[in-house]
Structure 1
């Protein structure tokens, strides 16, 4: 791992909080993610299961966490199982956790090799009444592949069919939605790295550079500052490419008088930043571009004020839609007559702003949370309004990461340039 060591207390506290939600005499098991083959002799880069990392800090394949707070044998109330390293693995793959290292990272005192899992589990599972197993219940996407957790559930039910099986995911959904102080520090680090990459891009960009050259500047800064890499595939969308919401080719030349919509973020210690900015290729917005830009920025500033603990997602989105409608009317993109006749299921503003304005952020870019629960203190969310105008050849999106607290919002990206004039000033100052 490139990132610096994380204090183990973060993961110890996460396990304590998780255990509080278990039924009496319950056992919980969490697995690492699969390794996925890329070709005949390569795997894709390994990405740890977010829930396992949340509870342990262990960033390695072939790992299992077993929690059994009421276990009659105190040795097995909290156990970590690892892939056993050896000289061949050391030569070919390098770093793997030793048992002592895993204890230092996770705070778990009982660390065994993965080969010991079956017989240790069998020695205690008959004393448990409930078994909590994990699956990916993030409703942002559906998974059709029988990943490790799904296969593990089948194995467990075949071996131990008469236990009461429970879902760990509802507990994780509740816990992960509210960020601890340690998590906020890691996300702030990701945001700070993202800021430096954006400043680098501002000083680099000029007419005739390519989208992929901008992407290269971003990853250069990420890796230089110990980020794992991109939090998600970056969008570097010049001109009309900005009107493709998930544009990812990043292979076009950036032309004079065009805008570039950039959506990127650093991943640091498995925690993510998520930034969107739109800049002029030549360092100066046209009058029309600037008027649309300022409309988007106005919606963002006002929407941030709405993000308070207690407001429901429906109310928040409805009010954000009203803000956007007002700006689109002012820009003469829609008329009040269209607004009056609009379909409530598809408001007029959706023609130019077709995606959601916010999502939770954390270990997942679209983080694990209950979209039907009112906003709560400790939620970390994006705010990302946009206006997309294919007929005029550009789209504008702006996005910051916002922490909700009882005393008001904290913008973790408040130090990243966003005012049009500030962007122009930096782009026309000295280059790298």
Structure 2
């Protein structure tokens, strides 16, 4: 199965855009991630540093991108050397020569040349830009290079006198998605939505949470998304009231709900979808009533999304519906206007309404919070976010017994368009009737 791929020309444009923002006579250093040991001599599945990947498309560990801005701009890549012995054990490497050709950088060097060559690109620059504190080993490398230059005045060396955090620049760029990025995220949503549908058809009394997780991960991998974007949450019954429940090891019970928060990662980009449905395929009266409150709140929040709107306005819409619904069901009591003003629904809606989405599931980008923690950043075309209201009433809550142990969240991925929004999560059933219809076709 072929998927949308981002052309190398877009990575070049990103580097050029970043260099245009850099001060004159400066150098930027963006490192790749290192492999992480899982146990002894086995490693976790490698995940590239997202800023490095955003600027290069290069997927090998230990690499380094250097951007130099003087009277002309240069891009330099350091990467692992070709090594037949290592490659026969661990897989092929690109190597410096091919990396220069394939990833369209001006110069490429092996990592063996790093300590000798890197100081020469930093020498004489007025400012150095990097993400200090992100990788301790990389920080030590940078400071060692700076010491070489500071101690080399007699040789005509000089070190930058200004240090700038490069992350805010890249984060702002990543916040607005290109057409190619949006196409990849649409595909990640389709794969993830199919996985949620598959889970609905598979689930029944007596299956285990981990078996449902296996169905989801199979759907991801079989369709080209080898990894989940995050640890899948498969919470049956009261486990659904634990926001980041990932044990996924308990049996599913006939009359309980199952909350699944799972999304695929495709070509580095994340989907993040949550669905909640009855294990036996049929909502009880109480489950349906509470579920509809959450769904109505999600719809109200999504309808606010357009250029110039913001998360704060979406929150106001969602919380109004949640509060009205909880009052109508008798879970809250009091005057509706007072309850809305006091944000009484937050007793059961205990997380934020949504977050930016992209190369990271909780993607980078400033929310522009005010002193009251209201997220006031105006939406712009190309932003992608989650909208995910939920209600969580644990087994000890001071409510009628019929509401205890219910956890419900509904989450879609929303793109801001020029005149409104596009819901990327189009194929994962979320109305009561659609869910029940899907589950009537179990295991088909």
Out of 122, 127, 130, the position equivalent to 1:130 is 127
Q: Tell me if 1:252 matches 2:256.
A: no
Tell me how many residue pairs correspond in the alignment: 418
Distance change >3 Å, CA 252–CA 228, structure 1 → 2? same
Which residue matches 1:367?
A: 363
Distance change >3 Å, CA 58–CA 291, structure 1 → 2? same
Contact 1:338 1:348 in 2 (8 A): no
Q: How does 1:210-359 map to 2 (within 5 A)?
A: 210-337=208-335, 340=338, 344=342, 347-359=343-355
Out of 74, 88, 91, the position equivalent to 2:88 is 91
Q: Matched residue of 1:409: which SS?
A: strand
Residue 333 of structure 1: how far off its partner (Å):
1.2
Q: Matched residue of 1:20: which SS?
A: helix
Contact 2:80 2:96 in 1 (8 A): no
CA-based RMSD of the aligned residues comes to 2.2
Residue 148 of structure 1: how far off its partner (Å):
4.0
Q: How does 1:14-29 map to 2 (within 5 A)?
A: 14-29=14-29
CA–CA separation in structure 1 for the residues paired with 2:340 and 2:295 = 25
Contact 1:417 1:423 in 2 (8 A): yes
Q: Give CA-to-partner distance per residue, 1:153-174, whole Å, 9 cap, x none.
A: 4334433454122111110121
Q: Give CA-to-partner distance per residue, 1:256-300, whole Å, 9 cap, x none.
A: 111100000001111100000001111111111111111111111
Q: How does 1:150-229 map to 2 (within 5 A)?
A: 150-160=139-149, 162-163=159-160, 164-229=162-227
Q: Give CA-to-partner distance per residue, 1:397-427, whole Å, 9 cap, x none.
A: 0000001122110111123211111111111
CA–CA separation in structure 2 for the residues paired with 1:409 and 1:289 = 29
Distance change >3 Å, CA 110–CA 389, structure 1 → 2? same
Q: Tell me if 1:390 matches 2:387.
A: no
Q: Tell me if 1:429 matches 2:426.
A: no
Residue 116 of structure 1: how far off its partner (Å):
2.3
Mark the runs of 5 or more structure 1 residues left unpaired by the alignment. 137-142
* TM-score (norm. length: structure 1): 0.91
CA–CA separation in structure 1 for the residues paired with 2:193 and 2:311 = 28
CA–CA separation in structure 2 for the residues paired with 1:228 and 1:413 = 20
Q: Answer with 259-268 or 61-70: which moved more.
A: 61-70
Which residue matches 1:139?
A: none
* TM-score (norm. length: structure 2): 0.88
Contact 2:348 2:391 in 1 (8 A): yes
Contact 1:382 1:399 in 2 (8 A): yes
CA–CA separation in structure 2 for the residues paired with 1:106 and 1:293 = 49
Q: Give CA-to-partner distance per residue, 1:370-393, whole Å, 9 cap, x none.
A: 011332221100000011122422
